[in-house]
Chains A and B, each alone.
Chain A
Amino acid sequence: AQKVTQAQTEISVVEKEDVTLDCVYETRDTTYYLFWYKQPPSGELVFLIRRNSFDEQNEISGRYSWNFQKSTSSFNFTITASQVVDSAVYFCALTVAETSGSRLTFGEGTQLTVNP
């Protein structure tokens, strides 16, 4: 069975601060995929990134960056110079190759509030 843990239930920062959202996962499979989704106040789920277990390169996309470390089973997400529009619930999720498709195991979510 797979498990994803997002220990930070809520984070509150002031605009322009950097913030890191933690994600720890558990799986016995050697091939798996990790995801981050954003859920803004409007409620939809917005895909941010997918990373497979064989690719440990960190990725940067504008103000967003992701740090994947297999040694600690973590896939952390950092927002640099946060903005009010970053306020949302962020979900980390996992799927394993044997299931095919995208049956996702989600973490509990982290509510990020960026104050002006």
Chain B
Amino acid sequence: NAGVTQTPKFRVLKTGQSMTLLCAQDMNHEYMYWYRQDPGMGLRLIHYSVGEGTTAKGEVPDGYNVSRLKKQNFLLGLESAAPSQTSVYFCASSFWLIRAGTEAFFGQGTRLTVV
């Protein structure tokens, strides 16, 4: 009963370093999302994917890239980390048709600090 799993849980990066956050879901969901959570701002959508091989920009996409080579995985990349990217990152997944009665399921979050 894994649901949505994010790797890693914590990470400290130096400015300019790169890293990839991995999200895996086992619910056969079509949609996957990456959000960032900052104090006083709620969660904001970075990128999302409507299916294998497709990605789209969300509200705050600058500085991030994503890939969805397999339906169950959604990767978030930071090519050159900046202190402004210090945040908690959440991955989520859902079925494409919300009227089917399901909500988005979230991972445990990744706390990233860029120094």
Contact = CB atoms under 8 A, between A and B. Distances in A.
Given A44-B108, A50-B103, A100 B41 contact: no
Nearest to B92: A102
Contacts of B35: 104, 106
Contacts of B30: 101
A79 B104 CA distance: 23
Interface string B104-115: 111011000000
Contact of B98 (A37, A47, A97, A107): A97
B13 interface: no
Interface in A30-49: 33, 35, 37, 43-45, 47
A109 B48 CA distance: 22
**Most central of A4, A35, A100, A103 by chain B CB within 10 Å:** A103
Contacts of B101: 50
Interface residues of B, number: 29
A103 B103 contact: no
A106 B94 CA distance: 16
A105 B104 CA distance: 12
B42 A101 contact: no
**Most central of B42, B95, B108 by chain A CB within 10 Å:** B42
A43 B109 contact: yes
B88 A43 contact: yes
Interface string A71-111: 00000000000000000000101010100111111111100
Contacts of A101: 30-31, 33, 48, 50, 94-98, 104
Contacts of B98: 33, 95, 97, 100-102
Contacts of B43: 91, 93, 104, 106
Contact of A103 (B40, B41, B58, B90): B58
B40 A104 contact: no
Interface of A: 4, 6, 9, 33, 35, 37, 43-45, 47, 50, 52, 91, 93, 95, 97, 100-109
Interface of B: 30-31, 33, 35, 40-45, 48, 50, 58, 88, 90, 92, 94-99, 101, 103-106, 108-109
